[in-house]
Amino acid sequence: MKRREEVECQICHGTFPAGEALSAEMVRPAVAALIREKHPEWSPAGYICLADLNHFRMEHVEGVLEAERGELSSLDADVMRSLRAIKLATLCALALYPLGCLVRLAASEGTAVGLALDIAGLLLVLAAIGAFAFMAPTNWQRIVGEEEGLLDERELQQRYRAQAFGYSVFAVLTMVTLIYFAIGTDIGNQKGIQVWLPGSFVHWSAFIWGAVLYAFTLPTAYLAWTVPPPPEEE
């Protein structure tokens, strides 16, 4: 049996499988500088185990936060208000758009009630778009859409988790929609039961723009609802 390749960690000097260690060349410069301060023998040609790497990553983040603590403490209240606002915005964007489309779909043409429902539905759709516009310049949307080279280790990990969540939810919603279309078409053709299916350009446009809205909003919603609040002052 072929033996798995093993490497030695420069920090703890333990031996680990290659998959449980990282090449020193791949460690971000800021973290590598911190490691070199405590371990002058640090070499870009070596390896570091994931446990030690995560330890220095956390130490680096804590150092940055401590250095900026005075500034951060004055921003805590603003961060909390912004976090509550972005949570509300994600809920509005994800809930009001489909609700507005359903209200407009239920509106009957040629009646005062139908006109009122159509206007109400349009306002709900516009409110959803406005909520998305509110999210666009926020830090959570920056983490989702910024170039990877401009994000730190923590933000990259948050982005990967947010994208995985968004992809999973979007895939489930797409599958449910396709199953509904298939069943609705089959029932309508074989049993003569009328099931609503998109039948106009307006209907398909609503689906397409809704898909775009959800694709951009779901990762941001994940970050808004999972990012921990700032620590309380001691």
Average pLDDT over residues 220-226: 90
CA-nearest of 216, 213, 217, 233 to 225 is 217
| Cα–Cα distance, 16 to 50 (Å, whole number) | 10
> Over the stretch 74-118, which tens digit does the pLDDT of each residue have?
555 556 667 788 899 999 999 999 999 999 998 888 888 999 999
Tokens of 165: 């969540």
Integer Cα distance of 132 and 135 in angstroms: 5
Q: How far apart are CA 157 and CA 151, in angstroms?
A: 10
- Burial label, 85 (beta-carbon count in 10 A; 0-12, 13-18, 19+): middle
Specify whether the CB–CB gap between 107 and 115 falls below 8 A. yes
* Per-residue model confidence as pLDDT tens digits over 34-85: 899 988 898 888 898 888 888 888 888 877 776 666 555 555 555 666 778 8
pLDDT in tens, 142-156: 888 888 888 888 888
